[in-house]
Amino acid sequence: MEASQLYLQHLATIDRIAESLCRRNGIIGADAEDFCSEVKLKLLQDDYAVLRKYRGASSTTTFLTVVIANLFRDHRTKAWGKWRPSAEAKRRGETAVLLETAIYRDGQSFDDACSAILRNGRSAITRAELRKLLNELPHRAPRRVEDPNAVDDLPAPTTADDSLLDDERHGRLRAANDAVHRAVARLDPEDRLIIRMHFFEGLSIAEIARGLHVEQKPLYPRLKRLLERLSAALATEGIGAEYVEWLNSAPP
């Protein structure tokens, strides 16, 4: 099928996937419309260059879901910088991720965050329950937007040793991050999507099964096998198997 035909025949699916990503991440109104328009523009660029990469190795819906999820990741990084929800928020599910994101990444007040989540309508939760949930999530410093004119105001490290230790820790995290992403990139498209949806987007197994139109029960042993493969792949790069757990806090 020609890429242009693929685009036209699956335009409704493209809209549905983009809108679903926006809803899950608390993006509404004009911001959601902007992202959906951006997705269509990206798919049209360079004579449908992205769609021409489709070779039928997975279903068209799976392929489009992976592509649009990657576009959303890039869109979010461009708009807000790299930010990731805590492992605890991911463990507690979509509502916790939305709440933490609104408060600590977007700098919204609790009232504004509540209003957006309640309008979302995907969770039957009360304002009091949201307050309790926020109190149980780890406190995080608000995301800092770098100001190139304010560099002189940044505090210096307490000691040179502290700076060296920080550099060492960051180096280890970067190495683990790179290793995880290389290992995930080697998975089949649908397996890669399952890992991203579960660990990076915080979706439950039931939500993944519904989204991919597959049976839920086989997903549990499948996910276990995928984690074992990732552990083995990381071990070949000198990264301990415990870093698979680090997926819970790795950026998408």
The full set of domain ranges for the chain reads 3-80, 87-136, 159-249
Could you give the CA distance from residue 81 to residue 104 in angstroms, rounded to a whole number?
13
Contact by Cβ (8 Å): 225, 232: no
Answer whether residue 113 shows pLDDT above 90: no
Helix extents (H) in 93-218: 94-100, 110-120, 127-136, 160-185, 189-195, 205-212
Could you give the CA distance from residue 84 to residue 78 in angstroms, rounded to a whole number?
14
Contact by Cβ (8 Å): 94, 202: yes
Q: How confident is the model at residue 35, as a pLDDT?
A: 87
Could you give the CA distance from residue 188 to residue 184 in angstroms, rounded to a whole number?
9
Cα–Cα nearest to 26, from 130, 154, 162, 128: 130
pLDDT tens for each residue of 192-212:
888 877 766 667 788 788 878
Could you give the CA distance from residue 64 to residue 154 in angstroms, rounded to a whole number?
43
Q: How confident is the model at residue 226, as a pLDDT?
A: 87
User: What separation in angstroms does the CA of 4 have from each of 1, 14, 15, 132, 184?
Assistant: 8, 13, 16, 49, 30
Q: How confident is the model at residue 154, as a pLDDT?
A: 33
Q: Cα torsion at 164, 166, 167, 172 (round to 10°)?
A: 130
Read off φ and ψ for residue 197, nearest 5 degrees.
-65, -40
Q: How confident is the model at residue 143, as a pLDDT?
A: 53
Mean pLDDT, residues 45-49: 88
Q: Determine what percent of the chain is predicted with pLDDT higher than 90.
A: 7
Q: How confident is the model at residue 147, as a pLDDT?
A: 39
- Tokens 């000198």 belong to 238
Q: How confident is the model at residue 17, as a pLDDT?
A: 92
CATH of 159-249, one of 3.40.980.10, 1.10.10.10, 3.40.50.300, 3.90.1150.10: 1.10.10.10
Tell me the whole-structure pTM to 2 decimals. 0.40
Q: Determine what percent of the chain is predicted with pLDDT higher than 70.
A: 74
Q: How confident is the model at residue 16, as a pLDDT?
A: 92
